[in-house]
Structure 1
């Protein structure tokens, strides 16, 4: 009897800890202000400042991003081009050009040369959830790493981005990025 109670208690404890670790749901931000309109925020010139931290929270890389963005309507769909120029603290540079398409109100797909397949995103209130697999160069190898981005519009000019990186479900670290719209 004692073993059964212990097993039930352990099972309950594990279930509660899994619930505590669950991710936010995009709809929980539906009433948050200011409301994020991707085609409005990501339009024009935006400066970003970021860090990559490993699993232990140690800062491994610092970087800046110059982002030039524009949108057009094609066949009734909003299509955005986000041209990102990265510069890392070690002097290396990188370029990524996103093509974003609003497939239905608040739902987006994105493509870039180093994104495997399509990125899938959804906006609600002041938030955007964005998930994708990135071909990430490390030393002389390329790793396919999963990203889960949460972006929060703080003010009409400032957005904060927290991205979790993982491979085979194992946490690799986080990217934290602040955007400032000029």
Structure 2
């Protein structure tokens, strides 16, 4: 009897752990492989793109509004596609910020990216109409810089419009979301 009870408890704990991990894993980019229009990073992020966004805190309240003008271009270096996304942010309080991304296609549909305020490298994959990025950003808040993790999803809606939703967390704790709408000129 004792052996059976231990077995049931161990089995239950293993099942609950598996379900918890499965529930936290979220969608995989391959889930969107058959969605269209197909996202070609070098095609969409080429030229001037306007983006409008908000940051909402964990309660869902809008904390910041902003506009971004992106100047994007691609070239081939050492047989790989390399893109530069020069982003100029203007926030609703009048502050400005600039971020310059360098994106490299490391394999078909697989990208790495760097920027001055990104810790290490961003890693992302494209499938169908979707891009999923993961990276750590050095985020300045009230004179202190925090390293926060981003789980960033972009969805191409048509040849001009892309929607973006990024969840921010620190130590696995949800902090809020950034929501953006991109419009290619």
In the other structure, the counterpart of 1:100 is 103
Aligned match for 2:157, one of 154, 162, 165: 154
For residues 76 and 9 of structure 2, what CA distance do their matches in structure 1 show? 60
In the other structure, the counterpart of 1:115 is 118
Summarize the Cα distance change of 1:83–1:9 in structure 2 as closer, same or farther, 3 Å threshold. same
For residues 128 and 166 of structure 2, what CA distance do their matches in structure 1 show? 19
- Structure 1 position 75, deviation (Å): 1.1
TM-score under structure 2 normalisation?
Answer: 0.90
1:27-42 → structure 2 map (5 Å cutoff):
27-42=30-45
TM-score under structure 1 normalisation?
Answer: 0.92
- Structure 1 position 8, deviation (Å): 7.8
- Structure 1 position 9, deviation (Å): 7.5
Number of residue pairs the alignment of both structures matches: 182
- Structure 1 position 19, deviation (Å): 3.6
Aligned match for 1:46, one of 39, 45, 49: 49
- Structure 1 position 22, deviation (Å): 3.1
**1:62 and 2:72 equivalent?**
no
- Structure 1 position 64, deviation (Å): 0.5
Q: CA RMSD in A?
A: 2.0
**1:176 and 2:183 equivalent?**
no
State the Cα deviation string for residues 53-99 of structure 1 (Å, max 9, x = none): 00111110000000000000011100000000001111110000000
Unaligned residue ranges in structure 2 (runs of 5+): none
In the other structure, the counterpart of 2:77 is 74
- Structure 1 position 16, deviation (Å): 4.5
For residues 134 and 11 of structure 1, what CA distance do their matches in structure 2 show? 34
For residues 160 and 67 of structure 1, what CA distance do their matches in structure 2 show? 15
1:127-166 → structure 2 map (5 Å cutoff):
127-166=130-169
For residues 182 and 46 of structure 2, what CA distance do their matches in structure 1 show? 12
The DSSP-based 3-state class of the residue aligned with 1:39 is helix
